[in-house]
Amino acid sequence: MNLQEHVLSRKAARFQVEAKDWKEAVKAGTDILVEAGTVTEQYYHEILDGVEELGPYFIMAPGMAMPHGRPDGGVLENSYAIVTLKEPVNFGDPDNDPVDILITLAAVDAKTQNEEAIIQVVTLLDDEKAMADLRKATCIEDLEKIFNELEEM
């Protein structure tokens, strides 16, 4: 499960999305995956249920979230979606709010989620220039350039 390959080949990204709250922001990412046929509509509700039970467990760093749910919550295929927000929204995490980048993850099993997917997202997060460029991206070509620059490092 390769973040770059999946997102670019399926054009699974939306840029400068308008969302009035965190639920709309999460929905933007799950909608991409539903359109791609990799999750069912249930997956969005799985993520909301997880937040209701555990709080905003998927906030990874200041300004960045990785919404995901359990594999049995509507995941059909391993997949990612990237969403950047025009205006950041609060998730209820005082250390990392507001959030303007969401990388929605769907994994068919916990091993894939924990051993592959999260590592790829953290690698992107660790590059300050890539994150700054992602915040300015407006199209899939901008994202492709960001990934290419990461590969060259």
Q: Is residue 68 flagged as an active site residue? A: yes
Paired tokens of 19: 């969302």
Instruction: Say if residues 68 and 59 touch (Cβ distance below 8 Å).
Output: no
User: What is the C-alpha to C-alpha distance for residues 89 and 65, in angstroms, rounded to an integer?
Assistant: 11
With H, G, I as helix, E, B as strand and everything else as coil, classify residue 82. strand
Instruction: Say if residues 116 and 1 touch (Cβ distance below 8 Å).
Output: yes
Paired tokens of 124: 């992107």
Which residue among 32, 38, 68, 113 is the active-site one? 68
List all residues 6 or more positions away from 135 whose beta carbon is below 8 Å from its beta carbon.
Answer: 63, 84, 100, 101
Active-site residue list: 68
